[in-house]
Structure 1
Amino acid sequence: MASLRTMILLDPDLDTDLSPQAKMPKRSGVASQPAALQGQRIPSRRTLARFLCEAQAAVKLRGHVSVLLTTDAAIRRLNRQFRGKNKATDVLSFPAAAPGPLKIAGDLAISIPTARRQAEERGHSLAIEIKVLMLHGLLHLAGYDHETDAGQMARREQSLRAALRLPHGLIERADLGGNARPAKGLRS
């Protein structure tokens, strides 16, 4: 069912060396990847699609959503082209112009290098950070805009993060000066 409503795409230019799809040499049946890097691997498409469906249902957003996992350079180009901002960002949302017969809600683009840096700064896994970014993007697709509203998106994001067991969201981080740390025990 997840494949009918969501699609997770990997930018071919994205360095996926830390992804679970990459072949890792094994020693005595144990992956040789350092423990510090294991929490910074790109989650599987299936894991992300499952979360995307869960979050989309929580947001009450109908329609197909595609998520592009991409590079800082690619997201910078998109940000410049569509928002007039010549800088990399963590997540961009592209709502569908109209629902139409295909029932498309829109698309998200997430910069994996930026998400990885933010995850390290916050002390949680890349999987958690991607989920926080997906939720934020879905709220934008649903019509919320924290730059122009009176706190509605922040309140909605906060309640959904609690329901989805996620740490501080992007709006909350900005309000806290970017220093928000996750609660103990959060897992992807």
Structure 2
Amino acid sequence: MILFDPDLDPDPTSHVRLPARPGGSAQTTTPRKQRIPNARTLARFLREAQSAVKLRGQVSVLLTTDTAIRRLNRQFRGKNKATDVLSFPTDVPGPEKIAGDLAISVNTARRQSEERGHSLATEIKVLALHGLLHLAGYDHESDSGQMARREQKLRALLRLPHGLIERSNQSGTAKLPRGSGR
């Protein structure tokens, strides 16, 4: 299920002014590359990625703001800063298995997509895949590169660019273990 934070501005201030139509006024619109993808598109990708990860159960994705994700990060992880994606795994017993929830900051995703030169939709998909791997039990902060290798394979399968773990490795903040395919 895809949820949109009501405080999320679907048409951010990074507008492009289009020339005026004859007899009309100039228009302002968000560049296509930076528009928030619709729920149907994201739900389809979520199903495909969840299947590739082999994660069973319902996953909810909240597309939210930097302010809201900062609040969640502070409340649940004790880190008082905005981040790009948060994962909330669950083992709720019941007739329908719930795998967990993801929260993605569209503000941060937009900045990262601009830095990487791809669309906002692509960046949100990269973040969703990363979050799904966390829901499946992977943890790049404590494993020996298993999550990095799995993410790399799945990104290729799902036709996505560099993932989060690879990016941090390229910036020099972390090292991929040997045999990671890099």
1:70, 1:110 within 8 Å by CA — same for their partners in 2? yes
Indicate the SS of the match to 2:73. helix
Is the contact between residue 58 and residue 100 of structure 2 (CA under 8 Å) also seen in structure 1? yes
Unpaired stretches in structure 2, ≥5 consecutive residues = 13-19, 173-182
In structure 1, which of residues 130, 136, 142 is the aligned counterpart of residue 136 of structure 2?
Answer: 142
Q: Is the 8 A contact 2:91 2:98 kept in 1?
A: no
Question: How much has 1:102 moved relative to structure 2?
Answer: 2.2
1:43 aligned to 37, 40, 43, which one? 37
- Which residue does the alignment assign to 2:61? 67
Secondary structure in 1 aligned to 2:99? Answer: strand
**Aligned AA for 2:128?**
M
Tell me what 1:21 maps to: none
Structure 2 counterpart of 1:108? 102
Please tell me the residue identity of whatever aligns with 1:117.
R
Q: Provide the C-alpha distance between the structure 1 equivalents of 2:151 and 2:70, rounded to a whole number of angstroms.
A: 25
Contact 1:99–1:105, Cα closer than 8 Å, also in 2: no
Letter in 1 for 2:116: R
Query: How large is the Cα RMSD of the aligned pairs?
Result: 1.7
1:99 Cα offset (Å) = 4.9
Q: Which is higher, the Rg of structure 1 or of structure 2?
A: 2
Query: Are 2:142 and 1:125 equivalent residues in the alignment?
Result: no
Percent identity, aligned pairs only, is 78
- Length, aligned pairs only: 161
Q: Give me the TM-score of the superposition, normalised by structure 1.
A: 0.81
1:27: how far off?
Answer: 5.2
- How far did residue 38 of structure 1 move? 1.3
Distance in 2 between the 1:151 and 1:99 partners? 31
The answer to whether the aligner puts 1:167 opposite 2:141 as a matched pair is no
Q: Is residue 156 of structure 1 aligned with residue 150 of structure 2?
A: yes
| Paired letter, 1:86 | N
Partners of 2:21 and 2:64 in 1: how far apart? 31
Instruction: Give the conservation status (yes or no) of the 8 Å contact 1:70–1:109.
Output: yes
User: CA offset at residue 97 of structure 1?
Assistant: 3.1
